[in-house]
Amino acid sequence: MAGEKVFTKSETRLKRRPLPSNNFKLSANQQLAISHRNKPLIVTGGPGSGKTTVLIETAIARINEGQDPNSILLLTFGRERASEVRDAIALRTSETMLEPLARTFHALAYSILKSEGHNPILLSGPEQEGWIRQLVDGVAWPAELQPALHTRGFIRELRDLMLRATERGWTPEDLEVNGKKYQEEFWVAASKFWKSYIGTLILVDADHGEPKERLDSAQLIWRAANATRSSFNSQFKTILIDEFQESDKAQRALLANIATDDLVIAVDPFSTVGRFRGADPDGLQEALSPYQSKGDVIQLTENFRASSAVHLFLEKVAGEFPKAPNTQSSSAEFAGSVVAECFIDGANEAAFIADKLQRAHLEGGLKWSEMAVIFRSPAQSGAVRSALMRYAIPVAGELQVLSENASIAPFLLMAEAAIRGKVDLTTAEILLSSEFGGADSISLRRIRRELVAKYSSATGLSGTELICKAITDGQFEIPSGQSLMRVHDLFDIAERTAKKKASQPEDLLWAIWSNAKTDDNQLISEAWRDRALKGGFRGANADRDLDAMLQLFESARRFGQRFRYANLLDFFKDIRKSEIAGDVITAKGQRPDVVELLTPFSAKGRQWKLVVVAGVQEGIWPNLRIRGSLLGSERLAERDRNPDLAAIELELVAKAAVAVDELRLFYAAISRASQDLVITAVDREEDQPSTYFDLAYEFCNPELDFEAKRSINKASNLLSTANVISKLRRELLANGSTDAAATLKALASAGISGADPSDWYGVKPISSDAPAIPEDEDVRVSPSGIEKFDECQLRWFLETHGGQDGNTTAQLIGTVIHKFAELAETSDTNLDSQIELLTANWKLVDPETGWISRTSMGRAVLMLKRFYKYRESMAGKRTFKESEASYKFKIGRAFISCKIDRIETTVDGKLYIVDFKTGKSAISIEDAKTDAQMQIYQYAVGVDVAGASLVYLDHELKGNKTRDQQPIDRKAVEERIERTAVIMGGNRYLAVKNSNCQFCNVNSSCPLQVEGRGLYE
Ligand code: SF4
């Protein structure tokens, strides 16, 4: 084609970038370590002392000297860390490597077993826990453990116990023997479980159609250690190990088998953070001594990371260890800062943190990825995550339990239904009410009604069968059938994909994901992307859902690779049963520019300019509870080290170990900060800052004496977009500030929402002052609306013009109970048959499951019982005459249309009005005397009325259950209605503060409430 450039083979060349050289200064001791040769070397030093740098430079120096890079092994902890170190080396050398130079112990163990002809599968944590859960009932556990067996905590303790035992080289028999010897009765039961667990791992693989050996992480390392014990032909001449303090016994055994004389071990005993994962800091010295005895030790004494303020605080915390680490001298060129603040509650703490990060970004110029927030436990991060989202601060996605993500669950269900080729009612309802179904509980009922009306008699199918069949076969057409058709079309595509030979879970998921559409006919993938890009709360949720979808695809891909012949359904069943977040399998390449929320363990080996250590509360950090205290995984670790200690002493040793462990975690967390460190806590009666916070507070406020009270803050003057815009608006409106106007203009043109005056409610003129209803038209007045109108006209107006939610479950219960009350008089039913009918069809009232729905059903049953009790109590006093009696009439401009629940006849032949109430609160006896609804009903029925009653059916209502009204003065009622109708049809509605303001749906549009004031000011 003319003008098109054709590349020939010889013209296309890949050119490597010039290799960068290291552009930082190494200390004398670092240089000494890098040039050390021919015997083991132990490099010690605190956080930021440059130990990892020594290992990287050692590898590069060896390669530059001509050593084959494939003969160098750098072991580290964690896939991400290995990948970072690998990249750092790869960028500085042009040599080709056959296998990754830097890897984890697990990756090394895996490649050793593969080279020996094995092809095992490493069980991830969630997989292992899922498998334990399935097997846990197969053993006779002591009675006291029975209630806990299926809890997440117990499964995790059991997993930990088996892992700790495996890491220490124990067998199930050792666990049983030691259980008996040390009176650990649960170990004996656990040993039986462990035996059957090991035995079933091969069976599991057969289930998945491809026999492979499955190993957990501890078993994998021991297998490799055993394989290398006698005859291992190692390719590695140089072995470098980072963070040796995180190693367990099994890893040390593996190292002992493959270690060469060119061995460099980097270690900092005070930074161990993985004790809960088997790290063994107490056995560290013993593990190092064989290498130390024939080698050298070099201590790195400078801190290259921390600013001088952070460094000084690190020194203070180091002083808390029973045997203090050697503190280093700081090489910091800048002062940095340490701040300790406590707050009145978690919301203020979270807002302060969000503000701090926002200011560091906007005013300090830090990238988001240069900041992190560290918590002792991931469960603490919720409030901060929400606050960051409110501030539109990009925050790293969290690991999620996929089956618990409400947006993902319908995709999993759709896949399972497509594989099975059928759906049941529960699945059908979830699919129809999902984002790709788009139905709500009201339209679900409508769909059912229309299907039954049109097809039931011709097909003989029930409503349930029709809904399910409409999804799988798609042959029914009804006016409200758009949701059905969308779900059917997607089901059809998914089913065809599932039926294809060799289809993998990933293919099926892709078929569903890439075809699912919203009710606006937009692809869900695009809808989520658009929402995510818009930011805010909805954007953050969409972000989270997209992350979850990626996580799901990644899990599906892994499953497909590992079990190529497995049944498709197995994957979806596994995922839906999984109760814990999946492991991140893929190493991250480029880190995105987001703030990360981490634990000390996940922050290990990394650094940020600004680190916030949050939630430093008593009982949380330090958390002195002994880990695995039920089954005793911590005691097992201590017992292995101290076989002869009495139980009571062992407990003390374990407690002391936990205390030091907690301090190490704190030390590791604060040492991640290179420039500024912020430590926060909440200070209130039931929730006190911990001693670690006190350390920081004293450090930051040296002038305060020991007894002085901490100052407790409220987060104020925050730098959120909304706050800044409202401040500028106030300045502009109050003083006509041209600066404020110019800034708002700039913000508006940058697309910042709320900055453009056309978005401001209070600034716009009134759009119309015409009456709501033209003067020559009737005003529809509902009997129950008059009381609401008298209470607050504004609320009445807004609610009757769209400001009301759809039918709530409570309203639907009311409708159902009224219907049953009517049926009790007009059909052949009784209390038992009505209760049966109600409970069997409860899903139509509340499609949800769970205890809230069950409680509502219980309430409804009690209401029915109370209605029957009311009927009995009327025997001999009044008799039933009519139910749901309709009346329509006009008074002045008011047009009234009403239905009366029940009309009864008194013994002297007069009529009596009864209105059933299903709400949880009753009006007062006094208010009932003038209640407009009862007045209108009396007016509607005529002159011969003996009175009216409201009868309350909710069981929670104590005391008198009826509110009575005497016969009315018809003239007075007429005047009241006429007067009300005129104001209702007018153009002004008064907001009147009242006792129900707290339940008001429209308070965000009310000038009397903080939430709504902005609309008018
Ligand atoms: S908050 Fe109170 S005053 Fe305001 S509209 Fe609602 S009920 Fe009326």
Q: Give residue-wise pLDDT tens across range 9-46.
A: 455 555 555 556 666 688 999 999 999 998 999 999 98
Distance 49 CA to ligand 1 centre (A): 63
Ligand 1 touching residue 71 (CB < 6 A): no
Backbone angles phi, psi at 438, to 5 degrees: 80, 5
Distance 808 CA to ligand 1 centre (A): 20
Ligand 1 touching residue 992 (CB < 6 A): yes
List the single range of 223-232, 436-445, 515-524 with lowest mean pLDDT: 436-445
User: What was the pLDDT predicted at 172?
Assistant: 93
Q: In the beta sheet, which residues pair with residue 677?
A: 338, 611
Return the ∠ at Cα 847 (arms to 841 and 850), rounded to 5°: 100
Pocket test for ligand 1, best of 1000, 1010, 1011 (most atoms within 8 A of CB): 1000
Collapsed DSSP state (helix, strand, coil) of residue 592: coil
Ligand 1 touching residue 792 (CB < 6 A): yes
Distance 443 CA to ligand 1 centre (A): 31
Mean pLDDT of 999-1012: 83
Mean pLDDT of 982-1008: 89
Contact present, 576 and 642 (Cβ < 8 Å): no
The gap from C-alpha 401 to its chain's centroid, in whole angstroms, comes to 8
Give, using CA atoms, the residue closest to atom 7 of ligand 1. Answer: 997
Token code pair at residue 614: 């949050």
Q: Ramachandran region of residue 958, left (φ > 0), alpha (ψ -120 to 50) or beta?
A: beta
Mean pLDDT of 618-636: 81
Token code pair at residue 181: 């010897």
User: What was the pLDDT predicted at 586?
Assistant: 37
Mean pLDDT of 894-921: 92
Structure confidence by residue, pLDDT tens digits, 108-144: 999 998 888 887 877 777 778 878 888 888 888 988 8
Quickly state the pLDDT bin for 253 (edges 50, 70, 90). very high
User: What was the pLDDT predicted at 3?
Assistant: 42
Atom number in ligand 1 closest to CA 793: 8
Give, using CA atoms, the residue closest to atom 5 of ligand 1. Answer: 795
Of 301-310, 800-809, 909-918, highest mean pLDDT = 909-918
Regarding predicted confidence, which is higher, 168 or 326? 168
User: What was the pLDDT predicted at 1016?
Assistant: 65
User: What was the pLDDT predicted at 517?
Assistant: 92
Contact present, 506 and 557 (Cβ < 8 Å): yes
User: What was the pLDDT predicted at 512?
Assistant: 95
Distance 972 CA to ligand 1 centre (A): 28
Distance 1015 CA to ligand 1 centre (A): 14
User: What was the pLDDT predicted at 1015?
Assistant: 67
Rounded Cα gap, residues 241 and 244, in angstroms: 6
Regarding predicted confidence, which is higher, 974 or 213? 974
Q: In the beta sheet, which residues pair with residue 963?
A: 950
User: What was the pLDDT predicted at 392?
Assistant: 77
User: What was the pLDDT predicted at 789?
Assistant: 94
List the single range of 598-602, 629-633, 803-807, 1008-1012 with lowest mean pLDDT: 803-807
Candidates 224, 384, 346; CA nearest to 683 is: 346
Q: In the beta sheet, which residues pair with residue 950?
A: 915, 963
List the single range of 659-668, 691-700, 996-1005 with lowest mean pLDDT: 996-1005
First to last CA, the chain: 66
Contact present, 760 and 748 (Cβ < 8 Å): no
Pocket test for ligand 1, best of 997, 1001, 1011, 1016 (most atoms within 8 A of CB): 997
Ligand 1 touching residue 1003 (CB < 6 A): yes
- Within 10 angstroms of residue 691's Cβ, the number of other Cβ atoms is 14
Structure confidence by residue, pLDDT tens digits, 49-76: 899 999 999 999 999 999 999 999 999 9
Distance 802 CA to ligand 1 centre (A): 15
pLDDT > 90: percent of the chain: 37
List the single range of 1-5, 294-298, 995-999 with lowest mean pLDDT: 1-5
Return the ∠ at Cα 401 (arms to 602 and 410), rounded to 5°: 150
Mean pLDDT of 834-862: 80
Ligand 1 touching residue 1004 (CB < 6 A): no
Ligand 1 touching residue 993 (CB < 6 A): yes
Q: In the beta sheet, which residues pair with residue 330?
A: 303
Question: Is the predicted pLDDT of residue 4 greater than 50, yes or no?
Answer: no
User: What was the pLDDT predicted at 403?
Assistant: 67
Pocket test for ligand 1, best of 996, 1001, 1006 (most atoms within 8 A of CB): 1006
Q: What does the mean pLDDT of the chain come to?
A: 84
Q: In the beta sheet, which residues pair with residue 299?
A: 44
User: What was the pLDDT predicted at 616?
Assistant: 95
Question: Is the predicted pLDDT of residue 585 greater than 50, yes or no?
Answer: no
Ligand 1 touching residue 1008 (CB < 6 A): yes
Ligand 1 touching residue 81 (CB < 6 A): no
Structure confidence by residue, pLDDT tens digits, 204-226: 554 555 556 778 888 899 989 98
Mean pLDDT of 881-891: 93
Question: Is the predicted pLDDT of residue 723 greater than 80, yes or no?
Answer: no
List the single range of 496-510, 688-702, 742-756, 874-888 with lowest mean pLDDT: 742-756
In this structure, what DSSP letter does residue 323 have?
S
User: What was the pLDDT predicted at 635?
Assistant: 83
Mean pLDDT of 971-984: 94
Mean pLDDT of 728-756: 83
Question: Is the predicted pLDDT of residue 565 greater than 70, yes or no?
Answer: no
Collapsed DSSP state (helix, strand, coil) of residue 921: coil
Ligand 1 touching residue 795 (CB < 6 A): yes
In this structure, what DSSP letter does residue 701 have?
-
List the single range of 233-242, 360-369, 542-551 with lowest mean pLDDT: 542-551
Structure confidence by residue, pLDDT tens digits, 175-198: 999 999 998 889 999 999 999 888
Q: What share of the chain is helix, strand, coil (3-state, %, to 5)?
A: 50, 10, 35
Question: Is the predicted pLDDT of residue 534 greater than 70, yes or no?
Answer: no
Distance 803 CA to ligand 1 centre (A): 12
User: What was the pLDDT predicted at 913?
Assistant: 96
712-713 and 337-343 as β-strands: parallel, antiparallel, unpaired? parallel
Token code pair at residue 44: 């010690």
267 exposed, middle or buried (CB, 10 Å; 0-12, 13-18, 19+)?
buried
Contact present, 901 and 818 (Cβ < 8 Å): yes
User: What was the pLDDT predicted at 951?
Assistant: 94
DSSP code per residue over 247-300 = --HHHHHHHHHH--SEEEEEE-GGG---GGGT--GGGHHHHHHHHHHHSEEEE-
Mean pLDDT of 888-903: 93
Mean pLDDT of 767-781: 85
Ligand 1 touching residue 1006 (CB < 6 A): yes
pLDDT > 70: percent of the chain: 88
Write down the pTM of the prediction: 0.62
User: What was the pLDDT predicted at 805?
Assistant: 61
